[in-house]
Structure formats: C-alpha cells, structure tokens
Amino acid sequence: MGRIDGKLAIVTGGASGIGRACVRRFVREGARVIVADRNARDGKAVADELGQRFVELDVTDEAGWAALVGSLDRLDVLVNAAGVGVVADIETATLEQYRFVNAVNSDGVFLGCKAAIGVMKATGGSIINLSSVAGLVGDANLPAYCASKGAVRLLTKSIALHCARKGYNIRCNSVHPSFIDTPMAESMIEASPDPAKMRKRLVDAAPLRRFGEADEVASLILYLASDESKFTTGSELVIDGGLTAR
C-alpha cells in the first residue's frame, strides 16, 4: 500500500527537476498525477512513461488554470513546482527580467492555489508550494528570485490561515530547498559570468558540501502530500544541507 494511494495530484513543472521527481515518487506511492508544464515534449514524455495524464500549462495563465481544474471532480494534492531564475544583481537586472521571474514564481503559485482551493474545499487537500532558501535569506545575485520566493513563503501562510478559518481542511505549506541538481540550477550556473566559480560557490554554500538531489526534495514533498502531515499547515520546511543553520 502506497503512502498516497488513490489521491489525485497536479504537479506543475512536472517535465523536469523537482517536479519530475515528485511525479515519479507520487506514482510509486499510489497516486494518479496530472503532469502540468509548458514544455509539452518533455512533460508528455514523463506522463507517457508513467501512464499518467499530461496537460500543457503556462502557470501565469489564469484561464489555463480554470480549464485544468474545471475538468476535475476532485483534487487531493497540488504541488506548485514550476519556477524560473535569472542571475543578475539589482544594478544589472532589467524590469522585464524581474517581472518575468515574479510572474512565474509568485503569480503562478497564487493562481494555482486560488484555482485548487475552489475544488479542494469540498473534500480537503494539501497544497505544497516550492519556495527556496532564497525566500528566507538574501543573495546579492538573485534579487528577482529572492523577491519571488519570499512572496511564496508568506502567500503560503496566508492561504493556510484562510483555509483553516473557513474550515476547508486544506493544508498549505512551503518547501525551501537550497541548491538542487536540476536543469534550472544548471542553466543559472551556465548563465553566470564565471560558471566554474559559480558552481563552486553553490556547492560550498551548504555545510554538507554538495548539491541536493531532486529525489530528496520529492521525499519531503511526499510527506506533505500524505495524511502523515495532517496537522502541518502554514509551515516552511527547509531542505538545504545546513545552509541556513549558520
């Protein structure tokens, strides 16, 4: 028997990285999963491999969210894992870059939560929002990313309080990874002026001196998706190799 047998989940950003790791882990633990991503090729490949449904979704599109959730009779779990990042400090980042990062990382989470609550409130559910250690501490090279992930952290707490006060039995928590070995992290490293120096800086940032693995984050998210965490809401769960301990 799986830890989330019979549950229906949506995982955004399910085509790669942490999202893909969540999809695979959820299926192994008995859930049905809707793989949602704007990357149709890779998202469909993940869904087909696991015998699940793929939906092409731009998380910043409110109508797309309405169409996806409107097609469901129930929803037990939403994982907002879609995300982007831009390496550019406050003097070099453009307003266009700032708005793009915040549209995906913050607005996309807002829209996903809003849509999910509409169908979850009848039967309850769990919403897991991917924030970051960059939503807890600053990084001089990531102002847009820090702003977006800080927004996710407090949006999550607001949603948790709202759902509790309404008696919806919907839990909402945020997960805060540090540097995880994913395509997004790799793209940010390669986009930096000195990729080798950036890679070393990221590895050395954690006292455990390595990148985290997507499967390790998926294990934590699985806990939040399961009934094992039924008294956990409004929490920020950190998985960072000790980065924020000092």
The set of catalytic residues is 145
The span from the CA of 144 to the CA of 99, in Å, is 8
CB-CB contact of 108 with 152 (8 Å):
no
**Closest residue by Cα to residue 57 from 79, 90, 24:** 79
CB atoms closer than 10 angstroms to residue 41 = 8
The span from the CA of 150 to the CA of 68, in Å, is 27
The span from the CA of 149 to the CA of 133, in Å, is 8
The span from the CA of 184 to the CA of 145, in Å, is 12
**Closest residue by Cα to residue 178 from 203, 143, 142:** 203
